[in-house]
């Protein structure tokens, strides 16, 4: 059959990103997706799935938006590509940078484009080093990040990533990258003291850790971080690759915490994944210092920095988010999702802590939630597979001793669809608990 044919070709020729190579080569792909509409995707066998994860936290406006296809087609017909190097420019990149500046916190107004989150973070790391060089402090080049963070897989971003599985893979972390314990202000201060503030360029953090398991900071964490950064002349980079453009119920996740970063990195949601695009937004302060002090070339730029077709899709996507009020919908539906999780927590002995902000949420799984005792081996992967069998896509997270299910449905989701998610989880958990004889 066509399906078998594709499986064999996949096994032979396709090395999957972030995959078990051995399992992939032996078994082939578990699912071959063919189409999507709204929050649902369909596989080659015709089975439909509610995508409770927006693929990779990124199909924010849902599947099958012909307006986005049309925007790409119109731009491709007109001017598919044109470089933005040096003095060349074009309308889609100009208009999208202006639109992003409008959405971003007031003092962040200048945009550099990349093709994704990893490139954005690597650009930020180079940019902050360049900045301190120009300011006459070339020794200020260290980057501090947090444990459990995820910042991508390029050399800089993988070195900043706090999840050990990624950072230590192939022994690749670069020197000058440091991680501190999550939310420990003490650890941050201690590291700054030990290394010396004059050697530290920037602190990078996701406003809400995504890949690490939807981990929310304590209320005053970022206020303290901002104060420490200001005091020690350390730039604060917010990695908003997941949280940017509405996912958390605000334009940017950092807005929840009442502080303004010096740089915001973005990707995913800027185009709702319809086409690759990422970038960073820098503060007026950094921009004006760069303008004043830089007298050579800024030797950094990707061929596709400001790709016109990507930018045209980005513009249309941000227009959809605005017209359909999706940031507010994410906030309201996020509350609905969290209420659903709280109900699951009451109903199920294995559901411990539940949490969420906007449309990012997680439920923690325990053998005994009264003592926070975990199962001998994590149950999240098995449960995620069972949810998939029941038509719901989510992610089982087992990094560094955790055992949880994470959710991030498209921002277009409605109340009935949230109820459907809760109903499927409820059914699968019931089955699982019955299997335990509870
Ligand atoms: N930063 C964060 C917070 C992310 O979640 C991701 C990807 O999931 C990245 C960076 C890397 O982005 P990309 O995979 O587009 O390179």
Work out whether strand 177-180 and strand 392-393 pair parallel, antiparallel, or are unpaired.
unpaired
Domains contained in the chain, CATH given: 31-61+325-435 (3.90.1150.10), 66-323 (3.40.640.10)
Q: Does the pLDDT value for residue 146 go beyond 80?
A: yes
The ligand 1 site (C-beta within 6 Å) comprises 116-118, 121, 150-152, 206, 210-211, 239, 241-242, 267, 278
Determine which of 353-357, 375-379, 434-438 has the lowest per-residue pLDDT on average: 434-438
Q: Does the pLDDT value for residue 172 go beyond 90?
A: no
Q: Please give the Cα distance from 326 to 411 (Å, whole number).
A: 6
| Secondary-structure breakdown of the chain: helix, strand, coil percentages, each rounded to the nearest 5 | 45, 20, 35
In the predicted model, what is the mean pLDDT of residues 343-349? Answer: 97
**What confidence tens digit (pLDDT) does each residue in 183-211 have?**
999 999 999 999 999 999 999 999 999 99
Ligand 1 center to 101 CA (angstroms): 21
Residue reference for tokens 């670069």: 174
Give me 38's structure tokens: 């709204």
Q: Does the pLDDT value for residue 35 go beyond 80?
A: yes
Complex-level ipTM:
0.99
**What confidence tens digit (pLDDT) does each residue in 402-422 have?**
999 999 999 999 999 999 999
Q: Does the pLDDT value for residue 170 go beyond 90?
A: no
Which residue has better confidence, 437 or 399?
Answer: 399
Handedness of CA 157, 160, 166, 171 (dihedral sign): positive
Ligand 1 center to 347 CA (angstroms): 34
Considering the chain, what is the average pLDDT of its residues? Answer: 97
Could you give the C-alpha distances from 131 to 25, 42, 128, 335, in angstroms and in order?
Answer: 46, 47, 5, 41
Ligand 1 center to 280 CA (angstroms): 13
User: What is the model's pLDDT at position 407?
Assistant: 98
Q: Does the pLDDT value for residue 213 go beyond 90?
A: yes
DSSP code of 358? Answer: T
> Which atom of ligand 1 approaches the CA of 154 most closely?
16
> Which atom of ligand 1 approaches the CA of 209 most closely?
3
In the predicted model, what is the mean pLDDT of residues 297-309? Answer: 97
């Amino acid at each position: 059959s066509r399906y078998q044919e594709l499986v064999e070709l996949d096994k032979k020729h396709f090395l999957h990103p972030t995959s078990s190579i051995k399992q992939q080569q032996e078994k082939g792909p578990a699912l071959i997706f063919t189409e999507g509409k709204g929050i649902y995707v369909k596989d080659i066998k015709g089975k439909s799935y509610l995508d409770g994860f927006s693929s990779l936290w990124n199909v924010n406006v849902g599947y099958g938006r012909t307006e986005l296809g049309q925007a790409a087609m119109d731009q491709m017909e007109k001017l598919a590509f044109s470089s933005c190097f040096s003095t060349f420019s074009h309308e889609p990149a100009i208009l999208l940078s202006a639109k992003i500046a409008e959405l971003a916190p007031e003092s962040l107004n200048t945009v550099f484009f990349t093709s994704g989150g990893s490139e954005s973070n690597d650009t930020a790391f180079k940019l902050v080093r360049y900045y301190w060089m120009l300011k006459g402090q070339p020794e200020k080049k260290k980057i501090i990040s947090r444990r459990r963070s995820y910042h991508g897989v390029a050399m800089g971003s993988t070195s900043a990533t706090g999840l050990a599985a990624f950072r230590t893979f192939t022994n690749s972390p670069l020197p000058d990258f440091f991680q501190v314990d999550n939310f420990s202000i003490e650890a941050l201060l201690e590291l700054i003291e030990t290394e010396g503030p004059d050697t530290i360029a920037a602190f990078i953090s996701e406003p809400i850790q995504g890949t690490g398991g939807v981990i929310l900071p304590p209320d005053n964490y970022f206020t303290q971080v901002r104060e420490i950064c200001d005091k020690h002349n350390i730039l604060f980079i917010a990695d908003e690759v997941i949280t940017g453009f509405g996912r958390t119920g605000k334009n940017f996740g950092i807005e929840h915490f009442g502080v303004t970063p010096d740089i915001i990195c973005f990707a995913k949601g800027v185009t709702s994944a319809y086409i690759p695009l990422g970038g960073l937004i820098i503060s007026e302060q950094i921009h004006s210092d760069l303008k004043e002090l830089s007298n050579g070339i800024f030797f950094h730029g990707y061929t596709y920095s400001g790709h016109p077709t990507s930018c045209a899709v980005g513009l249309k996507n941000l227009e959809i988010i605005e017209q359909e009020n999706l940031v507010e919908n994410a906030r309201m539906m996020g509350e609905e999702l969290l209420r659903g999780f709280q109900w699951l927590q009451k109903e199920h002995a294995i559901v411990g802590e539940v949490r969420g902000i906007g449309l990012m949420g997680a439920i923690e799984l325990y053998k005994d939630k009264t003592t926070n005792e975990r199962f001998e081996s994590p149950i999240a992967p098995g449960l995620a597979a069972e949810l998939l069998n029941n038509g719901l896509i989510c992610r089982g997270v087992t990094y560094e001793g955790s055992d949880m299910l994470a959710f991030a449905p498209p921002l277009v989701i409605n109340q009935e669809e949230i109820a459907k998610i809760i109903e499927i989880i409820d059914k699968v958990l019931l089955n699982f608990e019955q299997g335990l004889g509870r």
